[in-house]
Amino acid sequence: MRVTLLLAFVAGTGLSFAAPAPAPAPRALDAPNSTLADCPGYTASNVVKTDSSLTADLSLNGSACNLFSDDLKDLKLLVEYQTDERLHVKIYDAELNVFQVQEQILPRPANENSSSSSAALQFDLVQSPFSFTVRRKENGEVLFDTSAAQLIFETQYVRLRTKLPKNPNLYGLGEHTDPFRLPIKNYTRTLYNSESPYIPVNSNLYGSHPVYFEHRGSNGTHGVFLLSSSAMNILIDQTATGDQFLEYNTIGGIIDLYFMAGKQPSDVSRQYAEIVGFSAMFPYWTFGFHQCKYGYKDVNTVAEVVGNYSTAGIPLEVMWTDIDYMNMRQDFTVDPDHFPLSKMRELVTTLHQRDQRYVLILDPGVHFVQGYGTYDRGHEKDVFLKNADGSEYLGVQWAGVTVWPDWFAPNTEEWWSNELQMAFNPETGINLDGIWVDMNEASNFCENINCNPQKKVVDDGIPPNNTFPIRNNTGRPIPGFPPDFQPTPPRAAAIKARNAKSIEPRQSTTGTMKGLPDRDWFEPKYQIHNHRGNLSDFTIYTNTTNYDGTRQYDTHNFYGHMMAMTTHTSMLNRRPSLRPMVLTRSTFAGSGRKVAHWFGDNASIWEHYRTTIRQMLSWVSMHQMALVGSDVCGFNGNTTEQLCSRWALLGAFQPFYRNHAEESTIQQEFYQWPSTIIAAKKAIDTRYKLLDYVYTALYYQTTTGAPMINPLWFLYPSDVNTFGIQEQWFYGDALLISPVTAESSDSVTVYLPKDTFYDYWTHERIDGTGANITISGLAWTDIPIHIRGGSIIPLRANSANTTKALRKEDFVILVAPDADGKATGRLYLDDGESIEQPNVSEINFTWEGGKFAASGSMAYRGASGESVTVAQVLVLGQSAAGKEGNFDSNTKSIEVDGPWKLSGDWGFQL
């Protein structure tokens, strides 16, 4: 959401940086008494095999090396052929004391006890010294081999290495801003959730998703997921002799591996979804255009932004407000002077009357002060994290001295839901439509464990005084808003500015799988490459105990995930029949099954414009988080007209589309510049016409796991030229998006696989040859799009100002035949928001031999109760007129006019 580097905050969040923070240098490890070569590994015994499983005891195979902590002498091995496509390998301590991720955090997939004889993968072990391999059974290809280095399993260090083929194609292991296809030499991926201003490269960011996809061309794709919330370094490198490897190095937890056989790339996506959960089905309106800025200083400014979009003729679906609306930065409050509740309610009512939506932000930090109802009620219900002596753990966040919810405590969900219900009650509060949870890594303004929270808030002026003038209105008319937002006579408007009110300064033992006691909670000898410093720097201290007896040392990486999930439940409690919209900054494996994510505090630079593409590719196709996107035009620093115009177009073809900027930056709403107005209108018009197409793609990701955004190699897995492409993508599976990515350029080099394509804008057929082509003369308002041959795309005939109005428009069905003259497509229709959908349509379109057909279930009816209408079918790539329709010799297309009702099967023959 915003920069919280300490210098920036001291300056009242008015400081802006011109460039991203540099990548951190690797941190030196304490020199252990032993070396890796001294570690003896383990010996397997008591091996028991069944048709669907294998178990064994693992015993230390010699004297302990105690490299970074104490070796565990006795381990257990469990191997399960859970399905024909999924193999589970788990190595854990015999005493069951080492921390394991709780089922409530990530419910485990069902073990279907598949027969090892029918499974696609084969597990083999060597008993002494213990190692194992996982092979693809159809060709014997080794996918995972731990024989090159001994297993190390200590109290605060676990190492497992696997061999890899030379020059592997590896992807995933988010969250990061590194290349989409991961580097293979001297590369470290650190997973430790952290607030990360300027999203630095080669660094740990806001989320932890320890899953990688490895693609081996025509031999197939497989995936490996390590179910662990421990801080870790994942090394990808080569030995001195040139042998490639990937190595897990964690500071705790167990080895809990899930192997996904693939073999097609999207098969791995589906199999991963079966482990961590399928994506949520988000409301239709979430695919509209969203606007936000940290620094909209009063409710009048928010209303004026909405009015300005309307005046400029740019559709705006959702308005957002950052922490500016809060009273002294306190959750569940409003600033009585700048965001009075009465006018906030008027704002939301006006938005809803215009069929627009409203979203507000919440942070996890709760102001530690008596008399603040949210704190008082939470304290009474015992919902906050505790120190070892039972006192509430204190830190610093936006409101000042802060306590943090313990999401494991039995009353926390009830308390959080109640606070949300009171603040956002439709009758008495702000009737918002979605929640945005931020700062939930959790971010702590305390730099380290020596911080004195009470002193820090005084020294740093936290929260800052709000010196923005108190205004009845902006002094300018706002079209479409009620009288309270309009200019008033001068005498009534002459209100003196004043400062806002100042604030008054004001372990349990471990259980089963709750984590080992007596560890170094702050600086374990094996140190991860955390770009913020030690484990507890700028976050909740890692010695803090959760209600269930676990420690933040083990659970840190899913603190934000738990906040987001709890907020999702609270929104569901508030509106039980409607799909919640919750956007979160911090995530963990499985977050996508309920919530959305944006890529954090990027910068208004061309590199971050490009970065958003490769981030999207990983998140949607590999991490099963479908609704993702970046802050369009950039968050930190001043954007430019050219960059913002290009980004308006790029963002329109990502799932989540929001313009958002930091407080000290210039205004960057799309109506600020001539070219951004043109680009935004074009981008949103195109996005909205395609909204049902991408909504359909979302539906199938939620039900099958097939990603709604595809890297090129997902659709062309045997084309080696696609393996490293990270600045083009398929929007759905039919539209190839190839934005201009270079500054001050009017051209882009596009790779077209050997296939049939059509220019989206001109409908010209282009035969791809598996080579690059350069497209030139692209204005700041242009973006190349190509339709993949063999596709049928449902389009709305016209765009609209809101998604509600859009749903009233007829359809045009666009047929783009492949080289064999065939094409297929699909369309999913529902009411766009309800959880229970009794009447939906799932329609399949086909084109072959000049015959068009629509079939499937067609139970959905529009808001009027009538069937949805198809006004026209447009068939591309034709050489002559058919028996029906009008032939356009310029575009080589045939238009066949309807109407046809989507109430039953229909079709025609040319």
3-state secondary structure of 238: strand
Structure tokens of 784?
């190349």
Catalytic annotation, pick one of 80, 433, 601, 755: 601
Answer yes or no: are the C-beta atoms of 880 and 871 closer than 8 Å.
no
Residue with tokens 């900027």: 661
DSSP state, residue 545? B
Residue 551: partners with Cβ closer than 8 Å, 6 or more residues away: 507, 515, 521, 542, 543, 544, 545
Measured in whole angstroms, the distance separating CA 272 from the mean position of its chain's CA atoms is: 15
3-state secondary structure of 896: strand
CA distance linking residue 742 with residue 758, whole number of Å: 24
Strand partners, 874: 814, 895
Answer yes or no: are the C-beta atoms of 283 and 833 closer than 8 Å.
yes
Kindly report the length of the chain: 910
Sign of CA dihedral 382, 387, 389, 391: negative
CA distance linking residue 314 with residue 321, whole number of Å: 19
CA distance linking residue 777 with residue 769, whole number of Å: 22
Burial of 487 (0-12, 13-18, 19+ CB in 10 A): middle
Measured in whole angstroms, the distance separating CA 245 from the mean position of its chain's CA atoms is: 28
DSSP state, residue 781? T
CA distance linking residue 374 with residue 366, whole number of Å: 7
Degrees, nearest 5: CA angle 524-528-534: 65
Half-sphere exposure of 464 (CA within 13 A, CB side): 12
User: Burial code of 635-668, b = ≥16 C-beta within 10 A, e = fewer?
Assistant: bbbbbbbbbbbbbbbbbbbbbbbbbbbbbbbeeb
Instruction: Identify which of 540, 562, 194, 566 has the alpha carbon closest to the alpha carbon of residue 387.
Output: 540
Strand partners, 169: 215
β 906-909/244-250 pair status: unpaired
CA distance linking residue 293 with residue 297, whole number of Å: 10
State the virtual CA torsion across 443, 446, 449, 450 in degrees, nearest 10: 180
Degrees, nearest 5: CA angle 297-503-358: 35
DSSP secondary structure of 353-397: HTT-EEEEEE-S-EE--TT-HHHHHHHHTT-B-B-TTSSBP-EEE
CA distance linking residue 490 with residue 492, whole number of Å: 5
897 is an active site residue: no
Amino acid type, 731? Y
CA distance linking residue 200 with residue 600, whole number of Å: 11
Backbone angles phi, psi at 342, to 5 degrees: -60, -40
Structure tokens of 430?
């702000």
Query: Of all residues in the chain, what percent are helix, strand and coil, respectively (each to 5)?
Result: 20, 25, 55
Sign of CA dihedral 14, 18, 20, 21: negative
Catalytic annotation, pick one of 80, 274, 304, 441: 441
CA distance linking residue 786 with residue 816, whole number of Å: 10
Structure tokens of 411?
């009353």
3-state secondary structure of 97: coil
CA distance linking residue 26 with residue 23, whole number of Å: 9
CA distance linking residue 587 with residue 676, whole number of Å: 32
Catalytic annotation, pick one of 93, 298, 438, 733: 438
438 is an active site residue: yes
Residues with active-site annotation: 438, 441, 601
